[in-house]
Amino acid sequence: MTTTFQVSALPSGDLQRIRARGTDDFGNAIVGQADSDADGVPLRCCLREAAAGERFALIAWQPADVGGPYAEVGPVFIHADSCDGYPTDNVYPEGFRHRNQLFRAYDRDGWQVDNRLVEGNDAESAIGDLFDRPEVSYVHSRNALPGCYMFTISRADSAA
């Protein structure tokens, strides 16, 4: 069975507000940096890795829009300046294919119901398996080792 899904990067409106204000939603200053060794920094605004010399910033972000014990705040990399965002939200991000990810599945109330360690090339299969469970409303993709939020995967018919 083929499962259709939608991938959501950080919302562009939120990023515009944060960049314009110069602080994230938790009061941390947005400090842009361009590092010649930064190749590979995973950008959550456009769901690709930064190229060497690109300006990026590290901000605090709360990916859960429902409260509860899983509504944590964590670090995410974004472009320091505006970018085009993630243009193909109905496919798994190619820029993350080589990364192992932790998929955390949540119900509509924001409670975790499953976790899977996934190789990027097996992402669609894992997404399908998780969405075969009717209680799974959305999935957070997270960096497998530090656990940082990467992006949200929703059922295509329920994506906002």
Q: Is the model's pLDDT at 1 over the cut of 80?
A: no
With H, G, I as helix, E, B as strand and everything else as coil, classify residue 15: helix
Q: Is the model's pLDDT at 49 over the cut of 90?
A: yes
Its pTM surpasses 0.75: yes
Model confidence over 60-104: pLDDT tens digits?
A: 999 988 878 888 899 999 999 999 999 988 899 998 999 999 999
Model confidence over 122-147: pLDDT tens digits?
A: 999 999 999 999 999 999 999 998 88
In a 10 Å sphere around its CB, with 0-12 CB exposed, 13-18 middle and 19+ buried, how is residue 146 labelled? Answer: exposed
Which string of b and e fits 29-68 if b means at least 16 CB within 10 Å? ebeeeeeeebeebbbbbbbbbbeeebebbbbebebbeeee
Assign 23 a pLDDT band (cuts: 50, 70, 90): very high
- Whole-number average pLDDT of the chain: 91
Q: Is the model's pLDDT at 105 over the cut of 90?
A: yes
Residue 70 confidence (pLDDT): 86
Q: Is the model's pLDDT at 160 over the cut of 50?
A: no
Q: Does residue 128 or residue 160 have the better pLDDT?
A: 128
Could you give the dihedral angle defined by the CA atoms of residues 116, 117, 123 and 125, in that order, rounded to the nearest 10 degrees? -50
For 117, the token pair is 């360690």
